[in-house]
């Protein structure tokens, strides 16, 4: 039972992180600083035409579906600490996919989070 849940947790984490990366790439590619483009319908039309944003939303939905599977299999207090791993995965992806600089303090924080996740899953 826990093995299947761990696979679901892993998928949910990966889907969530990929969603964030695609959303960042998508929104950065748009020139939506003009006030008239923030009108709700016009903004929605701009968003749905952007493939990266659509991929980001798709990954977010896949993450939610995977997470629902996990919630059916294991207690929330077991599964939820694993979601903290996004605080390590996002900086990794930000550095290597988006070429963003990540301060040392964030890496140290990520290591502390991993220790916490391991301790909470014992």
Residue 32, pLDDT score: 65
| Number of separate domains in the chain | 1
Separation CA 40–CA 51 (nearest Å): 19
**Cα–Cα distance measured from residue 71 to residue 5, given in angstroms and rounded to the nearest whole number:** 8
pTM of the model: 0.84
Predicted confidence (pLDDT) per residue in 25-43, tens digit: 998 887 765 555 566 777 7
Task: Give the domain range for residue 67.
Answer: 2-121
Cβ-in-10-Å burial (0-12, 13-18, 19+) of 48 comes to: exposed
> Looking at residue 35, what is its pLDDT?
58
Residue 1: per-residue pLDDT: 61
Residue 59 phi, psi (nearest 5): -65, -35
Query: What residue ranges in the chain does DSSP mark as E strands?
Result: none
> For residue range 62-114, what is the model confidence (pLDDT) as tens digits?
999 999 999 999 999 989 988 988 988 999 999 999 999 999 999 998 899 88
- By the 8 A CB rule, do 114 and 88 touch? yes
Cβ-proximal residues to 111 (8 Å cutoff; 6+ apart), any chain: 88
């Amino acid at each position: 039972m826990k093995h299947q849940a761990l696979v679901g947790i892993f998928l949910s984490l990966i889907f969530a992180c990929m969603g964030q990366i695609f959303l960042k790439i998508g929104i950065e590619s748009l020139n939506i600083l003009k006030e008239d483009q923030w009108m709700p319908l016009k903004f929605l039309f701009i968003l749905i035409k952007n493939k990266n944003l659509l991929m980001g939303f798709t990954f977010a939905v896949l993450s939610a579906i995977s997470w629902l599977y996990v919630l059916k299999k294991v207690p929330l207090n077991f599964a939820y600490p694993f979601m903290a791993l996004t605080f390590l995965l996002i900086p990794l992806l930000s550095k290597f996919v988006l070429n963003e600089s990540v301060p040392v303090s964030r890496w140290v924080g990520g290591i502390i989070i991993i220790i916490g996740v391991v301790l909470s899953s014992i």
